[in-house]
Amino acid sequence: MRKIQQKTLDQWLQSDNRKPLVLRGARQVGKTWLVRDLAERHQLDLVELNLERNPRLARHFESNEPRQILENLEAELGRRFATSRTLLFLDEIQATPELLATLRWFKEELPSLAVIAAGSLLDFTLKKHEFSMPVGRITYAYIEPVSFMGFLQASGNMPLYEHITNASVKNPPSPSLHEKCLQLYFEYSLVGGMPAVVSNWFANRDFSACLKLQQDLLATYQDDFSKYSKTNDVRTLVRIIDSVARQLGNKFVASRAGEGVRAAEIKNSISLLTGARVVSFIKHTSGNGVPLGAESNDKFYKVLFLDTGLISALLHLSQLNVSEIKTQLFKNKGPLAEQFVGQQLRAALSQFEDPALFYWQRTDGRQGEIDYIIQHGNKIIPIEVKSGAAGAMKSLHQFMYDKQLDLAVRCDLNPMSIQKIEVKTTTGNPVSYNLISVPLYLAERIPEILRHA
């Protein structure tokens, strides 16, 4: 159920100029599973060293001599390694961050050996490291939670997965399959994309069991916060997470995080949470051209949570009955729909670069906002998110007129279609553009749908 990430790792492994690979992602998004899967699929001898569980193993890397390091590991583990058929995996490398600097020697002196490092709190290490990073001699890959398409694969319904994978504006899903996918979208919104929770859901179909796993994951993240407590109060970090859930889909306002918490403390807390990859920023863009971040206003930003299932757990949605949950999920301006779309876009964009999301909002006090702005080639594409089947698009009409654009996307519960919009803005200006309606469950495929529109 991790086809995008598997393809990314395959490309890296088969590259003629392969460098040591560093996987970055939140705790328990499946980094270790992906490495083990890579070794199994390519029949490689996996040498897995968990440096958090056994930091003593780091001593074998002190020589900075890759061949000597391998000889030491052979003696330690009691087995021989053929470098061209071996995958060396340094898991939880943030526990011994100095090893990151040694990765350069494997690229320079032992390129035939495939080397992968991973760490759930790696971003903190990279920010405060006091060693020389091997710039240009390592490659990063970014791992996100399981996307909706991965969720569909995990369901075991491969005919439906293949049908949805091939869906396009010219070949949309049939009405009955559209309804079936909406039901799966409803499930995913509660279950989310954390691998252990997804696996449990398709084994047991029990929301309460999923909720227990989600609560355990959230508790694990809170336990991690104690590792940052020298600079931040753990209670403040927990309050920030709750505030992110409450402000989902809106510009984040620091003062709403709680009384008595200083703005500087809130800013530092959010920085720590982004470092742990528990949350990510949706940055403001002027929308005047590419790159999208060229004219950004740093005072305006939204905060996206790691996973929609964890958000549902924070908001206690799993404790409601089915009809109440659907009402909450499908109401017209539901922030959970924005969370879902943002999460799918990050999954689509995350490979060898850290996925960046943008939105547009008026900064002069007037009303006007576009949920997401993406770059497609040299074009700017606005994306409006509606959790229902209808809703006004006044901001989109005005944005299309102001920026003189000819193509936009709307994500909602409607079947896929394309239509010509010819209306007047609220100021009376005529505007004409093509609008592609993409069902919410296909949000991950928006870049591909645009290529074939």
**Nearest residue to 359 (alpha-carbon basis) of 377, 347, 341:** 341
> In this predicted model, what pLDDT tens digit does every residue of 392-433 receive, in sequence order?
789 999 999 999 999 999 999 999 999 999 999 988 999 999
Q: How confident is the model at residue 235 (pLDDT cuts 50, 70, 90)?
A: confident
pLDDT at 78: 94
74 — phi, psi (to 5°)? -60, -45
Lowest mean pLDDT among 64-78, 143-157, 224-238, 304-318: 224-238
Q: Kindly state whether residues 344 and 229 are assigned to the same domain.
A: yes
Q: Kindly state whether residues 259 and 296 are assigned to the same domain.
A: yes
Chain CA centroid to CA 44, Å: 28
Residue 348 has pLDDT above 70, yes or no: yes
Domain residues for 237?
149-451
Residues 301-310 have a mean pLDDT of 95
Q: Kindly state whether residues 92 and 208 are assigned to the same domain.
A: no
Q: Check residues 346 and 130 and name the one with the higher pLDDT.
A: 346
Angstrom distance (rounded) from CA 275 to CA 102: 23
Q: Kindly state whether residues 65 and 110 are assigned to the same domain.
A: yes
Q: Kindly state whether residues 191 and 339 are assigned to the same domain.
A: yes
Angstrom distance (rounded) from CA 13 to CA 447: 25
The answer to whether the CB of 19 falls within 8 A of the CB of 107 is: yes
CATH number of the domain that residue 65 is part of? 3.40.50.300
> In this predicted model, what pLDDT tens digit does every residue of 168-208 receive, in sequence order?
999 999 999 999 999 999 999 999 999 999 999 999 999 89
Q: Kindly state whether residues 256 and 391 are assigned to the same domain.
A: yes
pLDDT at 69: 92
Q: Which of 127, 142, 157 is the last residue of a domain?
A: 142
Q: How confident is the model at residue 349 (pLDDT cuts 50, 70, 90)?
A: confident
The answer to whether the CB of 105 falls within 8 A of the CB of 75 is: no
pTM of the complete model: 0.91
Q: What is the mean pLDDT of the chain?
A: 88
Angstrom distance (rounded) from CA 76 to CA 57: 9
Q: Kindly state whether residues 115 and 183 are assigned to the same domain.
A: no
Helix (H, G, I), strand (E, B) or coil at 279: strand
Q: Check residues 136 and 177 and name the one with the higher pLDDT.
A: 177
pLDDT at 298: 87
Q: Kindly state whether residues 310 and 372 are assigned to the same domain.
A: yes
Q: Which of 112, 142, 172 is the last residue of a domain?
A: 142
Q: Is the dihedral of CA 47, 48, 54, 56 positive or negative?
A: positive
**Nearest residue to 336 (alpha-carbon basis) of 189, 224, 162:** 189
Residues 284-308 have a mean pLDDT of 91
Please count the other Cβ atoms lying within 10 Å of the Cβ belonging to residue 125: 19
Residue 332 has pLDDT above 50, yes or no: no
Q: Kindly state whether residues 171 and 126 are assigned to the same domain.
A: no
Angstrom distance (rounded) from CA 207 to CA 56: 41
Q: Kindly state whether residues 322 and 403 are assigned to the same domain.
A: yes
Q: Kindly state whether residues 48 and 191 are assigned to the same domain.
A: no
Q: Which of 142, 167, 197 is the last residue of a domain?
A: 142
Question: What total of structural domains would you count in the chain?
Answer: 2
Q: Kindly state whether residues 52 and 165 are assigned to the same domain.
A: no
pLDDT at 352: 78
